[in-house]
């Protein structure tokens, strides 16, 4: 790696591209417009080639002008297909994307085989070559990034309402069409400026992936926009750094891969929305439910007049293997709900309280369903069994008062249920 002025230039350029596309990507992803960015980029390729054929110039502004025109034409054709035929958006997108991209490849091959073309370096627009960024390009990038950032800063609240509730935006006297056009225009600018470094095939990844990753970490839009921008900048910089380690690796794919790694890590470990957090929640619920079944089984045995209750009794009541019941009992003992002495098992005060609550919610729900004729009596238990674990004390109170108003006293007979313990997962 060469840490010289050229490399700094390239690094700064990629950083800007990453930051800009990350920031705007947050809005594009939430607006479900991310694939439109992809279509736009692919459709830009023939524009690049035609601009070169027309002018015989490799100057970036000219090539990007061609790219922008053909990209926008592509998107307009998609909209026209959706509006005037019965073809749906996904098919329209697929058709336009492949036709434009195919045409672009044909033109590009033609240029490469011609005399003037073989040194044109237009192929960098396919996969991106950040190393080809020169000082003049960087100025263009700085201007576009600044424009995008200023527009996002100024129109943040308009973008927010446009995406959340466009009709309400209109009802407030704003024009959703104008706001939408502004957002789309910014996306076009960002995609075009990123073409040189990331390439038409993968620029959409820089728009989508950092935003999708950021969404996992936060429930606030401004945090998501910031995080997505920072993540995009990091991906841009890391992508250039990594691709510089080995010669001739295009920068676009490396940036996309770095962004994907960030996405995967986020999807896995993000609090609350991440896969692991979700899995832990499900497991905690299963543990709680099984514990509550244990307590309810204990109460049921006790009601039937059983004096000394051992784990084997509970195992047969719950229809679970003894080792699982033992595990449950040990866990409940460490929670202070059960005390175990010489194989005999008894509930602590806390355990009793919880057991009573569980039985009561089960009961109340059963009565409520039957009373309201929502379910037949013999169908009730399974549903009550699922619900008993999630009813809150407030709902229980409400149910009680509803039934009390209608002259039904459930509490008198709280230990009689239709029994049955729903199986959920492991008990640990």
Partner 1 sequence: MLHAVDESVTPIHIHDMTVAYHKKPVLWDVDLAVPEGKLVGVVGPNGAGKSTMIKAIMDLVPKASGWVHIYGKPYSRMRQVIGYVPQRESVDWDFPINALDVVLMGRYGHIGWVRRPDKIDRELAEEALEKVGMTDFGHRQINQLSGGQQQRVFLARALAQDAQIYLMDEPFAGVDAATERAIIDILMDLRARKKTMLVVHHDLHTVNQYFDWLVLINMRIVAAGETKDVFTDDNLNKTYGGRLTVLSEAAQAVAHHQRGL
Contacts of 351 (CB under 8 A, 6+ apart): 295, 298, 332, 336, 337, 338
Phi, psi (rounded to 5 degrees) for 347: -85, 140
Nearer Cβ to partner 1 (158/289): 158
Taking the C-alpha atoms of residue 326 and residue 348, their distance in angstroms, rounded to an integer, is 17
Nearer Cβ to partner 1 (169/191): 169
Nearer Cβ to partner 1 (155/256): 155
Nearer Cβ to partner 1 (29/78): 29
Nearer Cβ to partner 1 (126/225): 225
Nearer Cβ to partner 1 (309/402): 402
CB of 148 to partner 1, least distance (A): 16
- Chain contacts with partner 1 (rule: CB under 8 A): 30, 154-155, 157-158, 160-161, 163-165, 167-174, 215, 218-221, 223-224
Nearer Cβ to partner 1 (167/378): 167
Nearer Cβ to partner 1 (171/374): 171
CB of 215 to partner 1, least distance (A): 7
CB of 369 to partner 1, least distance (A): 17
Matching residue, tokens 């073409």: 195
């Amino acid at each position: 790696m060469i840490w010289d002025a050229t490399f700094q230039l390239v690094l700064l350029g990629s950083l800007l591209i990453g930051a800009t596309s990350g920031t705007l990507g947050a809005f594009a992803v939430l607006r479900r417009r991310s694939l439109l960015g992809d279509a736009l980029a692919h459709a830009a390729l023939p524009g690049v080639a035609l601009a070169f054929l027309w002018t015989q110039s490799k100057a970036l502004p000219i090539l990007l002008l061609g790219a922008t025109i053909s990209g926008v034409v592509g998107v307009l054709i998609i909209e026209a297909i959706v509006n005037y035929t019965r073809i749906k958006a996904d098919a329209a997108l697929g058709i336009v994307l492949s036709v434009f991209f195919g045409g672009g490849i044909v033109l590009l091959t033609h240029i490469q085989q011609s005399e003037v073309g073989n040194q044109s370096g237009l192929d960098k627009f396919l996969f991106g070559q950040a190393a080809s960024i020169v000082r003049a390009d960087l100025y263009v990038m700085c201007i576009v990034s600044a424009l995008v950032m200023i527009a996002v800063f100024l129109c943040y609240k308009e973008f927010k309402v446009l995406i959340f509730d466009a009709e309400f935006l209109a009802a407030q006297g704003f024009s959703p069409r104008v706001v939408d056009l502004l957002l789309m225009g910014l996306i076009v600018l960002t995609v075009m400026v990123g073409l040189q470094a990331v390439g038409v095939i993968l620029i959409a990844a820089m728009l989508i992936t950092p935003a999708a990753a950021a969404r996992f970490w936060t429930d606030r839009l401004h945090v998501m926009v910031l995080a997505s921008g920072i993540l995009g900048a990091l991906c841009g910089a890391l992508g250039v750094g990594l691709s510089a380690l080995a010669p001739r690796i295009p920068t676009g794919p490396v940036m996309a891969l770095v962004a994907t790694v960030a996405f995967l890590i986020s999807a896995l470990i993000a609090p609350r929305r991440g896969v692991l957090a979700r899995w832990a929640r499900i497991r905690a619920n299963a543990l709680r439910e099984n514990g509550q079944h244990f307590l309810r089984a204990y109460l049921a045995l006790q009601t039937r007049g059983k004096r000394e209750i051992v784990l084997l009794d509970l195992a047969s009541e719950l229809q679970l293997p003894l080792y699982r019941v033992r595990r449950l009992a040990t866990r409940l003992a460490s929670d202070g709900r059960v005390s175990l002495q010489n194989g005999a098992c008894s509930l602590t005060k806390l355990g009793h309280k919880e057991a009573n609550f569980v039985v009561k919610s089960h009961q109340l729900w059963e009565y409520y369903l039957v009373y309201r004729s929502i379910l037949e009596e013999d169908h009730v238990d399974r549903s009550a069994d699922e619900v008993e674990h999630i009813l809150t004390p407030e709902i229980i109170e409400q149910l009680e008062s509803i039934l009390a108003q209608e002259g039904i006293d459930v509490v008198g007979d709280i230990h009689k249920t239709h029994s049955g313990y729903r199986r959920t997962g492991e008990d640990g």
